[in-house]
Amino acid sequence: MARHKGRGWNGKLLAAALGVTTLAAVTSVWTAQADPAGGRQPQARVAQPVAKVAADIAHASDRGPQGVNITIDDGPDPVWTPQVLQLLKDSGVKATFCMVGTQAQAHPDLVKAVVADGHRLCNHTVSHDTTMDTKSEAYQSQQILDAERMITKASGGVRPQYYRAPGGAFTPYSRQLAASRGMRPLGWNVDTKDFEHPGVDAMVATVKSEITNGPTVLFHDAGGERSETVAALREVLPWLKQQGYSFGFPVR
């Protein structure tokens, strides 16, 4: 998978992520409960267990050979995510939203709207650092586990089912860590390169020519001006239906 570079907003996201505490991959949280004498004492409460999933990078669709997975990255964004959601609703299409932790934290109403419409959540790290594969395991853990916490909290308790490394910067460690938390590593087959603003016609042509490479298509609803993405989706979705494709989710 080609690495995405040159997105100017990465620095802003990294700055926003400073001070985010590392979430340890543990199963206990502490709550204060009253004791018989009327005092307060901490009591461990065990979190629900998480079922591990496969650690290899998924590309296939749960709808089989004629399935297509629409994936939307880098949001949620208050301008573009609502437009993408409305378009998907009008088209009767479900998608997978790969969310950046700081964006989810800033816009919990949009995370909840994504869930309410029947779409799935994907962890896209805290700050969208495309050099994650060059960083320490401790840093990778912080980016993945803190984003998991932020997205889950913003959604009202719905956990992300996938993990997509920014720019495809997976490592064996990050894949195994995500899988141990129930998040299947998620790749893509068709890159519309909408972050480069190639034009609507070019994006549509890319999908039409490359969909036979595999079912998972990459779009973005944040990280910049996304009117071309919205327009391209408006053309691509009915075309895919006309070709006999159905819309599903990545395998887990």
DSSP states of 85-101: HHHHHHHT---EEEE-H
Question: Does the annotation mark 197 as catalytic?
Answer: no
- 181 closest CA partner among 48, 30, 74: 48
- Residues paired with residue 219 on neighbouring β-strands, in sequence order: 72
Catalytic residue among 74, 191, 220, 221: 220
Per-position b or e across 185-210, b if 16+ CB within 10 A of its CB: bbbbbbbbebbeeeebeebbebbeee
Q: Are 250 and 216 in contact (CB under 8 A)?
A: yes
User: How many angstroms separate the CA atoms of 206 and 156, rounded?
Assistant: 36
Query: CB neighbours (10 Å) of residue 218?
Result: 25
User: How many angstroms separate the CA atoms of 227 and 207, rounded?
Assistant: 17
Catalytic residue among 73, 129, 146, 191: 73
Query: CB neighbours (10 Å) of residue 244?
Result: 7
User: How many angstroms separate the CA atoms of 170 and 237, rounded?
Assistant: 29
User: How many angstroms separate the CA atoms of 210 and 32, rounded?
Assistant: 55
Question: Does the annotation mark 220 as catalytic?
Answer: yes
User: How many angstroms separate the CA atoms of 155 and 84, rounded?
Assistant: 18
Could you give the 3-state DSSP secondary structure of residue 157? coil
Q: Which residues are catalytic?
A: 73, 220
